[in-house]
Structure 1
Amino acid sequence: MLLVGCCGWCLGRQRYYASFNVVELQDTFYEMPDEGRLRSLRGEAPEGFRFTMKAWQAVTHPPGGPTWRRARHRVPEELADRYGNLRTTKENLEAWDVIARAARALGASVVVVQTPPGFGASEDNVRQAAEFFRAVATRDFTIGWEPRGTWRSRPDLIAKVIGDLDGVIHVVDPFRASPAVERPVVYFRLHGIGGGEVNYRYRYTDNDLEALCNKVRGLREAREVYVMFNNVFMKDDASRFKSLCAV
């Protein structure tokens, strides 16, 4: 099954529901997720529509970093060193419980856990990430880990973290990397081509989208493939890809 959508609402919701079959919520990263609001959102969506969500930054990004500047809800300053970087502290695991309850209320099929570049590829972080994912793995939804920074050159270490965890997948930009571990669920986040790790102002060409479609068609073992555009032109690029790639 191919699911095509955007990272965030690029249209009014009713128009979006008519255009795509999945959306990745972004506000759940910047703010503590509101379980009641997400349950209402699930209730308004048409049958068969999929939601995914980005995990609250409390579990991934240490407080005080740039992504926290726009957050209204802040963690206590005296406990700041207990949050972020996939720590298995009491506070970080409680923050994950908030995420998990919200994901269940939303009926999310995938929760994207994006770690910052500062949480780089190292043996210590391999142990820390593996311990965290073992602690939070669930049958209620798939956990998609999108490691940033130096992990891209160390797929062996990514596989070491999630290789024996069936409910955790490796989220990648397919123009930059391939999943380190094959899973029945594949989740692509497209951040533009060139410009380092992201190039949000990139507009995908027809040749790009054809190459992406060929890549999707080559995933013979995949049960579900999410193709989520996360660039300035995501509405148009996702619409063009959906029309081009009927699989």
Structure 2
Amino acid sequence: MIRVGTCGFCESHSRYYRDFDAIEIQQTFYRILREKTLERWREEAPEEFTFAIKAFQGVTHPPNSPTWRRSNVRPVKEVGLLRPTSDVFHFWRLTLRETEILGARFILIQLPRSFKESEESFANAERFFETAERGDFEIAVELRGWSERGIKHFVRDFDVIDVTDPLVRVPLHRGETSYYRLHGRYEDGRIIYRHSYSDEELEKIRERVLGWNRAESFVFFNNSDMCRDAKRFKALI
């Protein structure tokens, strides 16, 4: 089974719920949302609709990240990079609370390139996952700039879903659920979000997602033309 959606609402909520069967909420990365907002989204959505929440940037991104400029929270010194600090755990608890209110299935932890493949990062992650409450949610992690060996080690040790772009590499976890994010094209290690997927690219994505034989796959588009491309892909499958 393949479920398709976008990273954030790309059209009115009522239309989105008709067109797609899953969404990755992006606002929770930048801002702490009102509980009433999350409750309304859950009430509006069909019962079988799947929500994923992107963890607040206080868990993942250091205070010098430009993403903080869009936040309704002022960054403090000891945040980001899964550092096991009181501030990071505070923001994680807020993410858990939002996930619970929304009735989401997944929490996405997207780590920046400054979260290097190093002993320090592994040590931080180990202390974080040993201490952090996980609830009944599935945790998906997107690591950028890491080797396949490092990613395999990370997702195995911390029992998380390996988030991948199917045009880049096969998932390195052994679970029954796959979680894909399609950001656009890549040039010299940079993501070019301003991209529309060709028919050939969408067909290749379909073949790979189906061919890797997962029981369940979630495919989220995050490029500039994500709404149109996600609809084209859904029609293709």
Q: TM-score, normalised by structure 2?
A: 0.94
Per-residue deviation, residues 13-41 of structure 1 (Å, max 9, x unmatched): 10111100011111100012333321221
**1:142 aligns to what?**
138
Per-residue deviation, residues 132-169 of structure 1 (Å, max 9, x unmatched): 23333625111111112x21xx1212222220443x11
Q: Any conservation in 1 of the 2:35–2:98 contact (CA below 8 Å)?
A: yes
Task: For 2:234, give the aligned amino acid.
Answer: K
Q: 1:123 aligns with which of 96, 119, 123?
A: 119
- SS of residue matched to 1:126: helix
Q: Any conservation in 2 of the 1:33–1:56 contact (CA below 8 Å)?
A: no
Q: Equivalents in 2 of 1:204, 1:64: separation in Å?
A: 33
Q: Equivalents in 2 of 1:172, 1:197: separation in Å?
A: 15
* Distance change (3 Å), C-alpha of 1:185 and 1:135: farther
Task: For 2:209, give the aligned amino acid.
Answer: V
**1:177 aligns to what?**
169
Q: Equivalents in 2 of 1:21, 1:197: separation in Å?
A: 30
Q: 1:93-242 maps to which residues of 2 (within 5 A)?
A: 93-136=89-132, 138-148=134-144, 150-151=145-146, 154-166=147-159, 168-195=160-187, 196-220=189-213, 222-242=214-234
Q: Equivalents in 2 of 1:199, 1:102: separation in Å?
A: 30
Deviation at 1:203, TM superposition (A): 0.9
- Segment of structure 1 superposing worse, 97-106 or 170-179: 170-179
Q: How many residues align?
A: 236
Q: TM-score, normalised by structure 1?
A: 0.90
- SS of residue matched to 2:94: helix
Deviation at 1:103, TM superposition (A): 0.4
Q: 1:80-91 maps to which residues of 2 (within 5 A)?
A: 80-91=76-87
- Segment of structure 1 superposing worse, 50-59 or 178-187: 178-187
Q: Any conservation in 2 of the 1:61–1:84 contact (CA below 8 Å)?
A: yes
Per-residue deviation, residues 42-67 of structure 1 (Å, max 9, x unmatched): 11111211111111000111123200
% identical aligned pairs = 41
Task: For 1:104, give the aligned amino acid.
Answer: E
- C-alpha RMSD over aligned residues: 1.5
Q: Equivalents in 2 of 1:98, 1:137: separation in Å?
A: 11
Structure 2: give runs of 5+ residues left out of the alignment: none
* Distance change (3 Å), C-alpha of 1:95 and 1:139: closer
Per-residue deviation, residues 180-204 of structure 1 (Å, max 9, x unmatched): 2222111000011232341211111
- SS of residue matched to 2:4: strand
Q: Equivalents in 2 of 1:127, 1:27: separation in Å?
A: 29
Are residues 1:4 and 2:4 paired? yes
Q: Any conservation in 2 of the 1:33–1:99 contact (CA below 8 Å)?
A: no
